[in-house]
Amino acid sequence: MTDPVLRTQGLSRRFGGLVAASDVELDLHRGRLHALLGPNGAGKSTLINLLSGDLAATSGSIKFKGNDITRFSADRRSRLGIGRSYQKTNIFTAFTAFENCRLAAQSRAPRALRVLGDALGFQPTCDAAHHALEAAGLAGRAGDIAATLSHGEQRQLEIAMVLATAPDVLLLDEPLAGMGAEEVGRMVALLQKLTPGHAILLVEHDMDAVFAVADVITVMVEGQVLESGPPAQIRGSAAVRQAYLGDGADT
């Protein structure tokens, strides 16, 4: 078995008296899609925020390729190769879809502080942006202002931007939320295509999609990991059924 790309040990986050994430142990491996399930408020988004650096951990550690990154800022983690998407669409609404992705790709370009060359003249960055748009199924909307895209297309753009940064780890916070059936099908296919080359953590409420693409599933309840294992194990787990699936608490 290969070493995990990303590993958390005893990772916790408190908000005053509330423990949003408690003692989370999680390994993400390249080539595996790791899905995170749990009812609302289980701490899934908190965990993604802890991994991406949007939130600082109260205790515990995060290791990326063996190096401790627990105290690294969000932008530094991103440059290391940890990319994330947001549950609430977080794009540059006034820019074109292409410029959204070009800017994302630019963060990886050498000489990012070039002050005199035309940014649009730097071909590798533009190519990366076009590839990302195409992968996310937005090639036809490259020139459109992001604000004019449909909700589903903005979700696709959200993913395209992460892809444009060419990350090793993908942290995807409900990428399918608000997408139509056709877009969900395309996104599931994209996730399957991305899995071999990436370590993916997927938070998603669409059970059909999760069980279709996940290699490993972790179920969280009230900030804690309830159970972790292959999809078949989770499907058969009495504890999971009781805590989550069986309650009809699905949102």
Partner 1 sequence: MSRRQIAATAVLVCLALFPFAGVAFYTELVAKVMILAIFAMSLDLLVGFTGLVSFGHAAYFGIGAYALGLMAPKYEAANLWLTLPAAVLAAGLAALAAGAFVVRAKGIYFIMVTLAFAQMFYFVFHDTSFGGGSDGISINVKPVASIGGFMPFDLSSATQSYFFVFTLMVLVFIFLRILLRSAFGKALQGIRSNEHRMLSLGFPVYRYKLASFTLAGALAGLAGYLSALQFGFVNPEMISWHQSGDVLLMLILGGSGTLYGGIAGAFGFVALQELFQSVTSHWQLLLGGTIILLVIFLPGGLASAGGHLKRVLVGDTIDD
Positions that interact with partner 1 (CB under 8 A): 52, 54, 73-76, 78-79, 84, 86, 90-95, 99, 102-104, 106-109, 111-120, 122, 125, 161, 165
Q: Which residues contact 24 (CB under 8 A, 6 or more apart)?
A: 8, 10, 11, 12, 43, 47, 60, 220, 224, 225
Buried b / exposed e along 67-84 (16+ C-beta atoms within 10 A) = eebbebeeeebbebbbbb
Q: How far is the CB of 136 from partner 1 (least distance, A)?
A: 15
Bridge partners (DSSP) of residue 12 are 59
Q: Which residues contact 29 (CB under 8 A, 6 or more apart)?
A: 1, 2, 4, 5, 199
Q: How far is the CB of 15 from partner 1 (least distance, A)?
A: 19
Q: How far is the CB of 245 from partner 1 (least distance, A)?
A: 32
Question: Nearer Cβ to partner 1, position 120 or 207?
Answer: 120
Question: Nearer Cβ to partner 1, position 5 or 234?
Answer: 5
Question: Nearer Cβ to partner 1, position 112 or 189?
Answer: 112
Q: How far is the CB of 213 from partner 1 (least distance, A)?
A: 23
Question: Nearer Cβ to partner 1, position 19 or 145?
Answer: 145
Element (H, E) at 77: helix 74-80
Q: What are the structure tokens assigned to 177, written together?
A: 């939320």
